[in-house]
Structure 1
Amino acid sequence: MAEAHLVDGMRPISRREELEDIERNKYLYEALDQNKREGLMLAVRARTISLVIIGVFLIYLNPDWSVLYYEVLIAGFLLIGWLQVKIGRVERSRAELLLILLDLALMTIVLVVPNPWDPRPWSVAMQYKYALFPYFYVLLAGAALAYSWRTLLPVAAFTTVLWIGAYFWAIEQPSDIAELSEKVKLALAGYPHVLDFVDPNFVPLEQRIQEVLIFCIVAGLLGLNGWRSRRLLVKQAGVARERANLSRHFPPNIVDTLAESDQPLGDVRSQPVAVLFADIVGFTKMAEAETPERIVAVLRQFHTRMEACVFDNHGTLDKFLGDGLMATFGTPEITVEDAENALRCAAAMHQEMNIWNEQRAKEGLSPIRLSIGIHYGTVVLGDIGSERRLEYAVLGDVVNVASRLEALTRELNACTVVSDKLIEAAGGAAIARDLDFIENGSQEIRGRDETVTTWIQPLASVAP
């Protein structure tokens, strides 16, 4: 059976689903992994500095040969830290778990095993009884900084096994101060609870269980917080990616509205839309005389300028088409200004091209001519593609006619050709003449039986 994890509070997902999620958010997980790698480096550097300081301080406190015992253990911690940098991983890794186990085992030795080179009488039980268990929290904090949230669970498990195992080992060890226990028992014969606390050779198990229980609770809370933070980052990245995808097609105000909707684009449907095609005239010939790098730079500038015109006039950028683009007005929602917005967008595009051509002239570059075709009518809106890749598309005869009208600009010596249906939807002949359009009669459209009544905008009307 595939391994399962709990996400979003209750819903279990399989390891396969988890891997698919990582693949969908590959770059995010790479960033998270890099962040954890940086956390590992930071934790190891911090522990190295701390251990060096502790090693020097111990020599100051114990200026004799017995301090070498602790210096050797400190060297062990430094070695483990170096290995963590070399072979530790931010996700699941057996090598990582082994290093964590060695780290915790070494800490247990430091806290439980008396210094064998210290000549002073002592007992293992007393060393263990008054050992500084809170030092394990230092390792736990370092693990939270350096590793995945999943790693905190084995940290808690390893610590529990090592600390309870040390208890059973400690109570079986002989004591150098066994006679002291007898004297304490005589002195505190009437105070058994105090005796349990004071007797240097007696270690209560309940207190040890309490220590590891609280440790496990803290480790669990830190792990839960790490899990929540990671899930939140993944969700936020998903939302940001969705908004970025929307922003490639819709103006910022529409993106905000769509982002707040559970089904922003709705089901497949039909509705009236204005469709605009824009294209650079003679691009193929221009490309032959330019380097590929220069052509790409020109296209990027062109697309950036035209995209702004579409969004400024409340349009939707359907797609870039090499040296052209397709935009729609009335998607995803219909407004009474859609047809007029399309006309205003065409005028803004020509004005922007005039500004750009003036800049190009100053640089000694030839002007670029833009041709536009617009039609208005009912289209089909919906997602097309496969389950792995869907694209929101605008389909129908209106799209084909708009593309053919753009191609007619060459034959009619016009910069813009629009259909009578668009002019009618935009408010009639008055707005057409206001934008320097003139009626051009019926035109045959390739691949279509019916003719289309057109209005054209002559080249002279948009000349700078």
Structure 2
Amino acid sequence: MSAGTRGPDRYEDGPGGFLDPALAAALARDHSALDLRTTEAAVVFWDISGYSRIADALQYGGTEFLRNIQEFLAGAARAVHRNHGVVHKFLGDGLIAVFGSSLGDPTTAGSRPDSELARPALTAAAELLTDFPGLADRWVASSGAPDPEIWRVGLRCGIAMGDVHHGRLDLGPMSSLALLGHAVNLASRCCAGAEPGQVLVSERVRAAGDGAFDFHPAGPPRTLKNISGPQQLWSVGAPHREVL
């Protein structure tokens, strides 16, 4: 992580994983706080389109590549935390975040309005989408590459919500934080189907965010890999003033 950004914390009971600071604090208070449970949540995937091209172009000259990735991921984590989410996992040039899960705080379990799950996720996505072009422009300006166009990248995002299985898996000498369920798969497919600069969400997220964000149909219902039935996906437009 960049200077001034707190790094991830290790599990106390083994070397098997890293934790968002909020979850690490919960684990320090209560060893059972991260036990696997079913919880309603909004799941967000972010991915940088075009970064594989940069990695291929740089080959072994990866110092700048790594510095840029750290800058993006640190900023993404801050956006997640500002909106009361937790970072589940960093995935190369992307990450997965969870909003509204009761993991680490079982007292928040139970029925919650969909808007309390979806709107923080949508707000974090909007903040990152607003900040990313400036970040990418700095990468181009500082690249020093013979062809700076290789640094032209775009941020994609996918959001879905529903029941997820969230918590610690004990794997012998290792531990891993699981995040499983239909909403996770759907958020991943939304992200994969998004265009650079686009946030693509499920119908349930659109309904929960209606009135706080503008939404536009992302074409007709589409068939997604390993998702049953055609899915109507929505592209997220500008947040309404009161959300900012």
TM-score range normalised by the length of the shorter chain:
0.7 to 0.9
- Choose 1 or 2 for highest CA Rg: 1
Q: Provide the residue aligned with 2:49 in structure 1.
A: 281
- 1:332-411 counterparts in 2 under 5 A? 332=103, 333=105, 334=108, 336=113, 337-363=116-142, 366-410=151-195
> Which is richer in strand?
2
CA-CA distance at 1:251 after TM superposition: 5.1
Residue 212 of structure 2 is aligned to residue 431 of structure 1? yes
Preserved contact between residue 213 and residue 236 of structure 2 (Cα < 8 Å): no
Preserved contact between residue 414 and residue 458 of structure 1 (Cα < 8 Å): no
Counterpart-to-counterpart distance in 2, 1:319 and 1:400: 15
CA-CA distance at 1:394 after TM superposition: 1.0
Q: TM-score, normalised by structure 1?
A: 0.41
Q: Which amino acid aligns with 2:37?
A: R
**Identical counterparts, % of pairs:** 26
What secondary structure does 1:363 align onto? helix
Counterpart-to-counterpart distance in 2, 1:451 and 1:240: 40
Closer/same/farther in 2, CA of residues 240 and 343 from structure 1, 3 Å limit: closer
Q: Which amino acid aligns with 1:281?
A: S
Counterpart-to-counterpart distance in 2, 1:258 and 1:328: 17
Aligned-pair RMSD on alpha carbons? 2.9
Closer/same/farther in 2, CA of residues 262 and 316 from structure 1, 3 Å limit: same
User: Which shows bigger deviation, 369-378 or 441-450?
Assistant: 441-450
Counterpart-to-counterpart distance in 2, 1:382 and 1:357: 34
Counterpart-to-counterpart distance in 1, 2:175 and 2:162: 24
Q: Which amino acid aligns with 1:328?
A: V
Preserved contact between residue 375 and residue 418 of structure 1 (Cα < 8 Å): yes
CA-CA distance at 1:355 after TM superposition: 3.0
CA-CA distance at 1:458 after TM superposition: 6.7
Q: Deviations over 1:195-225 (max 9, x none)?
A: xxxxxxxxxxxxxxxxxxxxxxxxxxxxxxx
Preserved contact between residue 100 and residue 117 of structure 2 (Cα < 8 Å): yes
Q: Deviations over 1:164-192 (max 9, x none)?
A: xxxxxxxxxxxxxxxxxxxxxxxxxxxxx
Preserved contact between residue 432 and residue 438 of structure 1 (Cα < 8 Å): no
Preserved contact between residue 445 and residue 451 of structure 1 (Cα < 8 Å): yes
Counterpart-to-counterpart distance in 2, 1:274 and 1:451: 20
Counterpart-to-counterpart distance in 1, 2:124 and 2:80: 6
Q: Deviations over 1:377-415 (max 9, x none)?
A: 1111232251211112111121111111101114xx661
Q: Provide the residue aligned with 1:138 in structure 2.
A: none
Closer/same/farther in 2, CA of residues 241 and 419 from structure 1, 3 Å limit: closer
Counterpart-to-counterpart distance in 1, 2:19 and 2:84: 11
User: Which shows bigger deviation, 268-277 or 357-366?
Assistant: 357-366
Counterpart-to-counterpart distance in 2, 1:351 and 1:249: 27
Closer/same/farther in 2, CA of residues 359 and 341 from structure 1, 3 Å limit: same
Within the candidate set 80, 96, 104, 1:310 is matched to: 80
- 1:176-195 counterparts in 2 under 5 A? none
Q: Which amino acid aligns with 1:394?
A: L
- 1:19-418 counterparts in 2 under 5 A? 242=12, 249-250=19-20, 252=22, 255-266=24-35, 268-290=36-58, 291-331=61-101, 332=103, 333=105, 334=108, 336=113, 337-363=116-142, 366-410=151-195, 415-418=198-201
Preserved contact between residue 45 and residue 159 of structure 2 (Cα < 8 Å): yes
Q: Deviations over 1:87-115 (max 9, x none)?
A: xxxxxxxxxxxxxxxxxxxxxxxxxxxxx
Q: Which amino acid aligns with 2:211?
A: A
What secondary structure does 1:451 align onto? coil
Preserved contact between residue 442 and residue 453 of structure 1 (Cα < 8 Å): yes
> Which is richer in helix?
1
CA-CA distance at 1:280 after TM superposition: 0.7
Counterpart-to-counterpart distance in 2, 1:443 and 1:432: 22
Q: TM-score, normalised by structure 2?
A: 0.74
Closer/same/farther in 2, CA of residues 338 and 293 from structure 1, 3 Å limit: same
Closer/same/farther in 2, CA of residues 368 and 249 from structure 1, 3 Å limit: farther
Preserved contact between residue 414 and residue 457 of structure 1 (Cα < 8 Å): no
Counterpart-to-counterpart distance in 1, 2:186 and 2:138: 34
Within the candidate set 420, 441, 459, 2:203 is matched to: 420
Preserved contact between residue 385 and residue 391 of structure 1 (Cα < 8 Å): yes
For structure 1, which runs of at least 5 residues remain unmatched after alignment? Answer: 1-238, 460-464
Between the two proteins, the alignment pairs up a number of residues equal to 210
